[in-house]
């Protein structure tokens, strides 16, 4: 109950910043529009198949979720700056309750972002299928990864610093190593190995498998993302607890 009360308060904080929420939803749709138009202008068979809507749409939904890192990091960093969390730390809430309270309000936003992006993709030729609902659910673990990363950085960095780290560095990192814009295996070498170690390309592969209805191909990649989500959430709890006790 205490966690839900804290989560409700965080939900109100998120919804107050309506422009940030709109940007998180609108920017991926703009990317989807531009890349779809570019793909249509390329003669069939001449361009990369990664820009075909059935592969592009799942990739864009995953990329759009990277903005959750910025939202979560700004929220927790702002609370730390205002000493709000320090006051709450005298309550019966545990560090895990705090992290859960910050995470829960972000999940509906993640589902909404993914759903809207897939709906937009229908206008560019994506086939309407029940698989799209599965694809939205498959995006939950990678959403938790991005949220946990935001909470990690927000626990140790200032409100100003997290804007650069989560707003620029992390979104670019997830874009380059996600298998969305180009096939990382074609680059080869250390780049491909790093991309395979990180969760981003695995999340995109799982989402594409879900959209295609290739159910057997979802979990080899999704397990990797789930592992990252568990580890990062645990790390966020530990670091958040240590930071508060130190302060």
Q: What is the pLDDT of residues 181-235, one digit of tens each?
A: 888 888 889 999 999 999 999 999 999 999 999 999 999 999 999 999 999 999 9
Mean pLDDT of all residues in 37-57: 78
Which pLDDT does position 1 carry in this prediction?
67
Confidence of residue 93 (pLDDT cuts 50, 70, 90): confident
pLDDT at residue 45, as a whole number: 61
Residue 220 pLDDT = 92
**Phi and psi angles of residue 105, each rounded to the nearest 5 degrees, phi first:** -65, -20
Q: How far apart are CA 128 and CA 3, in angstroms?
A: 37
pLDDT of res. 27: 87
Instruction: Over range 105-114, report the average pLDDT.
Output: 93
pLDDT at position 82: 74
48-66 pLDDT per residue, tens: 677 889 999 999 999 999 9
| Per-residue model confidence (pLDDT) at position 121 | 95
Distance CA 71, CA 151 (A): 9
pLDDT, residue 47, reads 57
Q: What is the DSSP string of the chain?
A: -HHHHHHHHHHHHHHH-HHHHHHHHHHHHHHHHHHHHHHHHSPTTTS-GGGSHHHHHHHHHHHHHTHHHHHHHHHHHHHHHTTHHHHHTTSS--HHHHHHHHHTTHHHHHHHHHHHHHHHHHTTTPPP-THHHHHHHHTHHHHHHHHHHHHHHHHHS-HHHHHHIIIIIHHHHHHHTSSSSS-HHHH-HHHHHHHHHSSHHHHHHHHHHHHHT-GGGHHHHHHHHHHHHHHHHHHHHHHHHHHHHH-
Q: Look at 25-29, 112-116, 134-138, 230-234 and tell me which has the smallest mean pLDDT.
A: 25-29
Mean pLDDT lowest for which of 67-76, 78-87, 97-106, 124-133?
A: 78-87
The pLDDT confidence band at residue 39, using thresholds 50, 70 and 90, is confident
**Residues above pLDDT 70, as percent of the chain:** 92
Mean pLDDT of 107-136: 94
Q: How high is the mean pLDDT of the chain?
A: 88
Query: Is pLDDT larger for residue 19 or for residue 68?
Result: 68
Statement: residue 88 has pLDDT above 70: no
| Size (the chain), residues | 247
Global pTM value: 0.92
């Amino acid at each position: 109950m205490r966690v839900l009360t804290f989560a409700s308060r965080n939900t109100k904080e998120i919804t107050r910043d309506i422009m940030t929420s709109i940007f998180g939803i609108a920017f991926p749709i703009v990317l989807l529009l531009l890349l779809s138009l570019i793909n249509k202008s390329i003669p069939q068979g001449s361009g990369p198949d990664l820009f075909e809507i059935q592969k592009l749409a799942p990739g864009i939904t995953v990329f759009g979720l990277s903005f959750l890192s910025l939202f979560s990091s700004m929220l927790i960093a702002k609370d730390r700056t205002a000493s709000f969390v320090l006051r709450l730390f005298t309550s019966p809430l545990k560090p895990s309750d705090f992290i859960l309270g910050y995470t829960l309000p972000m999940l509906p936003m993640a589902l909404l972002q993914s759903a809207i992006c897939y709906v937009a993709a229908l206008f560019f030729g994506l086939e309407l299928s029940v698989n799209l609902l599965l694809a939205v659910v498959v995006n939950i673990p990678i959403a938790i990864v991005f949220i946990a990363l935001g909470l990690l950085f927000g626990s140790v960095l200032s409100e100003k610093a997290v804007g650069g780290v989560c707003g620029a560095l992390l979104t670019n990192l997830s874009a380059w190593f996600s298998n969305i814009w180009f096939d990382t295996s074609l680059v080869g070498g250390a780049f491909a190995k790093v991309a395979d170690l990180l969760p981003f390309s695995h999340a995109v592969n799982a989402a594409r498998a879900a959209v295609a209805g290739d159910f057997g191909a979802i979990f080899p990649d999704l397990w990797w993302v789930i592992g990252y989500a568990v580890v990062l959430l645990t790390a966020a709890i530990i670091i958040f607890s240590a930071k508060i006790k130190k302060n």
